[in-house]
Structure 1
């Protein structure tokens, strides 16, 4: 029976992925900054642990409590909409601390046990913003594009140890809390000169018919975790699949 540790399980993709793997018979370690056991399905193969991926002590404690794992899913992330001109560099750094450095720190922390066992899999969630340019998400896109390059390079250096690393690339997920989770930090990030353009962008997003659901992402993670092929990228969602095919 395999064990998977998933970051960012309080809602959205992380929560749905934890539920799917638990339903499929895996041991699941669902982590989040503020544990909410009540949002998870009950089960003796499920543990909910506190984890802040921006804090090294929190990472060490969570991995110690989790014990040996077979798969790490780096899902924890922060969303951001706004004109880059109006985005303070402090907020840009905050986005990178979670989306980029948090993913790197979690990966680095599990590699010793994976390398010693000569097995293990890391799955990093990025975004279709890395496939095609999207406006008003420049800092967010940069944080996720960094993980694409990180994963591509790391896949090569880990191969000789039997350790694999993969990417799941979700599309636009209007049913997630991407924007809601960042409402406070996004205040004032669309100043008047950008307002008309931003409204047209939001209207286009609202009219999108091909989108990504939490279920589609969870299924893509399941596929990546169980696919023995050397595939690096797994688009998740109808819009993501269409973009990947176009790319």
Structure 2
């Protein structure tokens, strides 16, 4: 039976992906910082493990408990929107620790067993903000742009070892908890300077309007892209997910 380990399964894309693979008959290792057994049915094909991608001991323990992993999906991430001038070093480090170094550390923990079997698939999630820059998203976008560049290079070095690596680039999605997961990870930024306030109001208004009129990414778009990446050995290294991401990538 194929096994898949997914980070960040408490909500959003991670939760929907875990449910999808479970319905397909896979052994699913659903990980999250605060395990919630109520999210999934009880089954011997489902393991719910505590995992904080910013904690190496937590990663090592979860990978050890998971056993053989055929597919790793690095989905865990946090969002943040603020003028960079107001973005403290603490915030910068928290974003990169989760979105970037969390992905790095998960790959480093799982690759040895895949290399030993000369088989495996690694899926990393980036963001369409790397395709179209958005105001006040500089730090978040930088953390995801690093994942994009890293994955494209990683695919080249792992392919000769029998390990496939694919980057999923989701578009904007109103159904995800973007930013909410940062709650206990990031302290609030200071009050922005007056020069930023009018622009922030304008940007937020335009963003809300786009969310209402534009065809955005649905969870199933991301799940389907991940499924394609896992099941189609000829899929490209970079897969946009969602109509807005597809449009930006062309």
TM-score bin (small chain): over 0.9
| Cα distance in structure 2, aligned partners of 1:164 and 1:10 | 26
Structure 2 residues not aligned, in runs of 5+: none
**C-alpha deviation, 1:191, in angstroms:** 3.9
The corresponding residue for 2:40 is: 40
**C-alpha deviation, 1:42, in angstroms:** 3.4
- Equivalent of residue 201 in structure 1, options 200, 203, 211: 203
The corresponding residue for 1:154 is: 154
* Secondary structure, aligned partner of 1:35: coil
Moved more, 176-185 or 77-86: 176-185
Does the 8 A contact of 2:87 with 2:189 survive in 1? no
| Cα distance in structure 1, aligned partners of 2:189 and 2:170 | 25
Does the 8 A contact of 1:80 with 1:186 survive in 2? no
- Equivalent of residue 238 in structure 2, options 230, 233, 237: 233
The corresponding residue for 1:212 is: 217
**C-alpha deviation, 1:59, in angstroms:** 0.6
RMSD over aligned Cα atoms: 1.3
User: Given the two structures, how large is their TM-score scaled by the length of structure 2?
Assistant: 0.94
Instruction: Describe the superposition over 1:50-88 as per-residue Cα deviations: whole angstroms up to 9, x where unpaired.
Output: 001111111110011100010000000011000001110
| Cα distance in structure 1, aligned partners of 2:3 and 2:229 | 15
Taking a change above 3 Å as real, the CA distance of residues 189 and 12 of structure 1, as seen in their structure-2 partners, is farther
* Secondary structure, aligned partner of 1:207: helix
User: Given the two structures, how large is their TM-score scaled by the length of structure 1?
Assistant: 0.95
* Secondary structure, aligned partner of 1:149: helix
Whether 1:138 and 2:119 are equivalent positions in the alignment is no
The corresponding residue for 1:17 is: 17
Does the 8 A contact of 1:15 with 1:40 survive in 2? no
Taking a change above 3 Å as real, the CA distance of residues 44 and 199 of structure 1, as seen in their structure-2 partners, is same
| Cα distance in structure 1, aligned partners of 2:8 and 2:196 | 32
Structure 1 residues not aligned, in runs of 5+: none
